[in-house]
Amino acid sequence: MGFDEDATRDLVEMLAESEEPSQVRLLVDDDVLKWLRDDFMLASTAAELLEADVLEWRAAAGRLDDTLLVTEEMVVSLLTPTEEESAALATDDEEFVAAVRERWNGHWEEGEQFDLRTPAYSRVLDTFADEFGSAVESDFGTVLESAADMDADGWLDEVAVALLVAAKHGQLLYDISRWGEDAGVASKATFSRKKTQLEEQGLLETEKVPIDVGRPRLRLLLGDERLREADTEELASVAHEMLSAAPA
């Protein structure tokens, strides 16, 4: 409880990688959970743990001055005097542990529910496969995980990745934006805005596809030869280079 952003990331990743994770209640400042919500890969992984009843979180009602790991039998105080240094002080004194547990249980009860508004990662991939097929879903997962380690000033987010992968496979903007809204990834309007931005940066092109009734649909296409020639594993890095080189 009282974890900062780095400790929260480490906790989520540790639980996700564990074959038999323990059940954990995470009580942190509201700002930490808002930060978590802004990281799609991390938030969708946390949502996965929530659905599996592994992780539960709340926003603390007041400021948390201590960073503690509290178990049934032990209390561990985590100390980070500098970014490069950390230490842990632990005690298994029964009376002390009981007192700390009572205190933090009270803080937990006072805490507020916090909605990440992010779907579980497996549900994102499953619905993508249902809509576009397993081959397209595999590319989406590969590019999404590659992009998670890159910083393109927020350009190469989950919506941009979905659009680029859809363009790689010649999918319709209508279909990918409908999927995104139904899956809880982003609204149709968000997909439309991101499509326009990526067009302006030269990463996407569109062509009109007539339909029987109504306005023509737009087919998404990759807008640069470098993207069209890139392997799936390279698509995120090539897009990142183009976005970084584009004029502000």
C-alpha to C-alpha distances, 217 to 4, 40, 102, 121, 160, nearest whole angstrom: 45, 28, 59, 29, 19
Evaluate if residue 152 carries a pLDDT over 60: no
The per-residue pLDDT for 140 is 97
Mean pLDDT within 45-49: 96
Angle at 122 between CA 2 and CA 125, to 5 degrees: 130
Q: Which residue has the tokens 């940066």?
A: 201
Model confidence pLDDT, tens digit, residues 68-89: 889 889 999 887 756 666 778 8
Domains of the chain as residue ranges with CATH: 5-110 (no CATH), 121-245 (1.10.10)
Mean pLDDT of the chain: 91
Evaluate if residue 248 carries a pLDDT over 60: no
Model confidence pLDDT, tens digit, residues 49-73: 999 999 999 999 887 777 888 988 9
Query: Comparing 211 with 100, which gets the higher pLDDT?
Result: 100
The H-assigned helical ranges of the chain are 5-17, 30-38, 40-51, 94-110, 121-132, 134-147, 158-168, 173-183, 188-200, 225-229, 232-245
Mean pLDDT within 235-244: 92
d(CA 84, CA 236): 31
d(CA 50, CA 129): 22
